[in-house]
Amino acid sequence: MQKIKFGTDGWRGEIARDFTFANVEMVTRAVAAYLREKGLADRGAVVAYDNRFLADRFAAAAGEVLRRWGIPVYLPESAVPTPVAAFAIRYLNAGGAVVLTASHNPPEYCGIKFIPEYAGPALPDVTERIEALLAGLPPAPKAERAPLQVIEPMEEYFTHLATLIDGEAIRRAGLKVVVDPMYGAGIGYLDGLLRRLGVEVLTIHGYRDPLFGGGLPDPAEARLEELRDAVLSGGAHLGLALDGDADRLGIIDADGTYISPNQLLAIVCYHLLAQRSWRGPVARTVATTHLVDRIAAGYGVEVYETPVGFKYIGRCLRDYGCICGGEESGGLSIRGHVPEKDGILAGLLAAEVVALHEKPLLGVVAEVFSRFGRVASSRVDYRTTLEEKERVLKLLAGFCPVELAGQAVKRRTAADGVKLELVSGAWLLVRASGTEPVFRVYAEAAAREEVAALQEAMRQELGL
C-alpha cells in the first residue's frame, strides 16, 4: 500500500500517478472511521471540490464511501471555495468536511483534506489519527446507505460575511475593483458579493479552466501581471486575486503596487484596532511580520506566535479570543468567522479599508510605517541535495551565533525552524521544507538592503 501522509494542509499528489480513485477512496474510508470513532458520523459530512480536472468525480467517489459507512453527505451542486466548505460545516452542524482541492498547485495535481467539526484546518492530532487508521483500515460497518443532500451554500455564506464587514461603507465609497478568481473555485463569490455592495467590478479569468490558463492558480506577485494591467488601464481602486480554492488572496493597489500578505495582515490588524476599536490578542506564524507585534503593542494587546500552518492560527482564533490572525503565505481570518483562512473575506476587508480610510492601501501602509516604524520582509528558498539537507539540519541543531551580519543576536528560538531575533529588531528564520530538499530563509529588517545582508550571511553560515 502506498504511504499517504498529510502535509501542511492535506494530502496532494499527481493525478493518475498517485492521486487515484483507489487512494481517494482509501483516505475517505479512514476519515469515515475517524468520524465514527469520534461519534460524529450521525451529523454527516460536507464533501466539496474545486475546479480541477476530475475533482468533481473524486468528490462523488468520496461521497459514496461515506454513505456506505452510514454517514450522510452534503454535496454542493458545483465547485465551492475551501472557506465556504468550512462555513457549511458550521451552518449545517456537520461532523466535518472532505475537500478535494490542491489549492495553488499545478493543474496536474489534486488533493484531499479533512476539515474537522470545528470548521478549521485539522490539527496534527487529527491527521495523525487518520494516518494511523489508514495503516490498519477497519472493515466498513454494517449500516444502511446514508442519504445524500445536494446543497448550495453561497447565499448563507454571503449572509454571514455581511455581518463581518461594513457593507454600507463599501457601498458609499464608489469603488472600482478588478477581481481575478484565477479560473478557480472562487468564481462568482468575491466579485458577486462586491457587485451586491454597489462596487463596479471587472472580472478576469472568471470561468473554469482545469489548466488554469497554462499557469498556476497562485496569486503571488509574479502571476498578477494581467491583474495589474487591468487595474491600471481601468483606473481601479483595487485588484483582488484568489488562489485555486479561494482561501488566499493577492492584491494589486491602485498604482499597480503589489501588497504583500505581510502588509495586508498588518493593515487589517491596524484597521480592526484603530478604526473598529476591537480589542483582543492577534496571532501570526513564526515566519510572519513583526510589524503586527508593534501595532498590537501600540494598542496594548497580546500577540500569539505559532508554528507555520494556518491550523495553528485557527486554534488561536478558536481558543484564545484573537481578533485576527494570519500568515506570510496569504492566509487570514478574523473573529466571528470560521477559523479557516479565507481569501474572499480578506478581499472584502481590503475594500473596507480603502473605503473607510479614504486612501489606497499603500497609503494605509505608509500611515502604519509612520506610527510603528518601517519594515521590509523577504523569503529566499535554497534547493539542496538530500545529503546536503541532512548536513544543514545537523548544523542548525547546534547553531547559536552571538551575532549575524555584524548584529548582536538577542534571542534564538527553535519551535519551528531556527529563528534569530537581533537587538535592532530585525529577525531571521531558517526552516526546512517537510517534503523537498529545500531551505526557506525568511528575514525582516528596517530596509531591504539589511534583509538581503542577513539572508546572505545565513547562506554563508550554512554553506548553502
User: What DSSP line would sit under 207-249, residue for residue?
Assistant: S--TTGGGS-S---GGG-HHHHHHHHHHT-SEEEEE-TTSSSE
d(CA 209, CA 215): 11
d(CA 97, CA 119): 8
Q: Based on the domain organization, do 360 and 394 belong to the same domain?
A: no
d(CA 156, CA 62): 24
Cβ neighbours of residue 374 closer than 8 Å, sequence gap 6 or more: 446, 447
**Residue 4 located in a structural domain:** no
**Residue 434 located in a structural domain:** yes
Q: 219 near 243, Cβ under 8 Å?
A: yes
Q: 189 near 246, Cβ under 8 Å?
A: yes
**Residue 2 located in a structural domain:** no
The last residue of a domain, from among 101, 117, 152: 152
Helix (H, G, I), strand (E, B) or coil at 175: coil
The last residue of a domain, from among 348, 372, 396: 372
Give the pLDDT confidence score for residue 143 in this predicted structure. 80
Q: Which of 449, 464, 439 is nearest to 405 (CA)?
A: 449
**Whole domain around residue 50: which residue ranges?**
11-152
- Predicted TM-score of the model (pTM): 0.95
Q: Based on the domain organization, do 89 and 213 belong to the same domain?
A: no
Q: 213 near 225, Cβ under 8 Å?
A: no
Cβ neighbours of residue 127 closer than 8 Å, sequence gap 6 or more: 6, 114
What is the pairing mode between strands 258-259 and 73-76? unpaired
Give the pLDDT confidence score for residue 2 in this predicted structure. 60
Give the pLDDT confidence score for residue 1 in this predicted structure. 47
Q: Based on the domain organization, do 192 and 206 belong to the same domain?
A: yes
**Residue 174 located in a structural domain:** yes
pLDDT along the chain (464 residues), means of 10: 73 94 96 97 98 97 97 97 98 98 94 97 95 88 91 97 97 98 98 98 97 95 97 98 98 98 98 98 98 98 96 97 96 97 98 98 98 96 93 93 94 95 96 86 96 96 91
Cβ neighbours of residue 59 closer than 8 Å, sequence gap 6 or more: 47, 48, 49, 75, 98, 100
- Residue 299, judged by CB atoms within 10 A of its CB (0-12, 13-18, 19+), counts as middle
List the CATH number of the domain containing 184. Answer: 3.40.120.10
d(CA 274, CA 441): 32
